[in-house]
Structure 1
Amino acid sequence: MESFEWYVIRATGTVAYLLLYLSVIIGLYTQVQKKRKQKITITLHLHETLANWAFFMVCGHLGFLLIDSYISFKWAEVLIPSNTTYKPLPMAMGIISFYFLIITIVTSKARKKIGYQRWRKLHALNPILYVLVTLHGLFIGTDFQGGVLAVVNIVPLIIMGGLLLKGQQKLNMSN
């Protein structure tokens, strides 16, 4: 049973990370499309849906941590940063990431009620979420090597940055 729990913990964490990764990439692509004055309804919906599913997978990840018989985490250890003896810093990064994800999803759902400007400021904090969850996976897991994570994260950002610059140049030329 221990190996099953271990595999499910790893799988839910990995899938949550991949969904978050795709949500980030699509969110950045949505910004490129917005700057190009393109329709963003479908990509925006996909961005939000992927983030929601990442949240569900993180909840599954936490749930399986609680029933894992090898380490036997308690609620406080998976919900309060630095309240565990098992890799306290990477665990804290994961817990703080979880709270950032909750804030992101709740404020995105309440975007109209809290106002677009306030939502935008809160949404601008999401790079912190992404960096923390990446470090959490890098320091606590053995599934991904640092070089692989670096390439997977840096290459799309370079591409998106290039697309944003290209879109900005086209916008400047048309004015």
Structure 2
Amino acid sequence: MIGPNPLEYGWWLASRSSGVVAFAAVSISVIIGLMMANGLPKRPGAKKQLVAIHESTALAGLVAIGVHGLTLLGDSYLHPTLSQIAIPFTIDYRPFYTGLGIIAGWAALFLGLSFYARRMIGNKRWRSIHRATIVVWALAVVHTLGAGTDAGSLWLQAILVVTGLPIIFLFLRRVIPASKLKPAPLPESTPVERAAARAAARARGTRPASPPAS
């Protein structure tokens, strides 16, 4: 009995593992980017170190995305063409979820290359474009859950949770104004309420709990 060709199986394994690496690298890059956007941590010199890690993980993610797609060309089960791994929603295998992954891959490449063109397009415009990174990450999550071979595995779900929770928290912390995160101040008492409190205190023969506001 002849078993499966290990070389053909290896292509699928390479695509599968590089996809996980790509997701992990992009997630770490997004976490660090959101930390810097939130001004964290506040330790002197930390931002320079975080920028280096942010850029390195982003580039590693782009390389892994390229490997993830190109190694599928050798997969004996899917037999995709180059156009099918480059054009969204054209592949036969779970076209919707795979298509979202292809869109996320192209968007990640565009955002990554835009970093090197930020002087040409302007920092303000580049920052506006760069905010779409969270959308790319969300598309990658949907792609992983819908098309990933290991979507039902506990270890992959653990990666999704461990990376997803800090991203969601930091994103909400960034977009929700700080004033809404603080408890609302107690309303000041009116002159009538203060006079009533003083009268009640005199009737009881005690002092008011707090001195009347001037």
Select which of 106, 119, 131 maps to 1:124: 131
Q: Deviations over 1:85-141 (max 9, x none)?
A: 211101110110011111111111111121011101111111110011111111111
Q: Does 1:51 align with 2:58?
A: yes
Change (3 A) 1:37 1:118: farther
Residue identity (%): 28
TM-score, length-scaled by structure 2: 0.69
Q: Distance in 2 between matches of 1:65 and 1:92?
A: 14
Q: Does 1:156 align with 2:166?
A: yes
Q: Deviations over 1:50-91 (max 9, x none)?
A: 111100011111110112122111011001111122111011
Change (3 A) 1:162 1:95: closer
2:8 counterpart residue number = 2
CA RMSD of aligned residues (A): 2.7
Q: Does 1:19 align with 2:29?
A: no
> Contact conserved, 2:100 with 2:143, CA < 8 A, in 1?
yes
Q: Does 1:139 align with 2:146?
A: yes
Amino acid at match of 2:8: E
Measure how far apart 1:37 and its partner are: 8.4
Measure how far apart 1:13 and its partner are: 0.3
> Contact conserved, 2:97 with 2:147, CA < 8 A, in 1?
yes
Change (3 A) 1:97 1:74: same
Matched pairs, number: 168
Select which of 63, 70, 87 maps to 2:70: 63
Tell me the secondary structure at the aligned position of residue 80 of structure 2: coil
Q: Distance in 2 between matches of 1:77 and 1:68?
A: 13
Q: Distance in 1 between matches of 2:149 and 2:74?
A: 21
Measure how far apart 1:155 and its partner are: 2.4
Q: Over alpha carbons, which structure has the higher Rg?
A: 2
For structure 2, list consecutive stretches of 5 or more residues without a partner in the other structure: 1-6, 180-214
Tell me the secondary structure at the aligned position of residue 33 of structure 1: coil
Amino acid at match of 1:152: V
Q: Distance in 2 between matches of 1:12 and 1:32?
A: 30
1:110 counterpart residue number = 117
With 146-155 and 23-32 compared, the bigger mean Cα shift is at 146-155
Q: Distance in 1 between matches of 2:41 and 2:12?
A: 44
TM-score, length-scaled by structure 1: 0.84
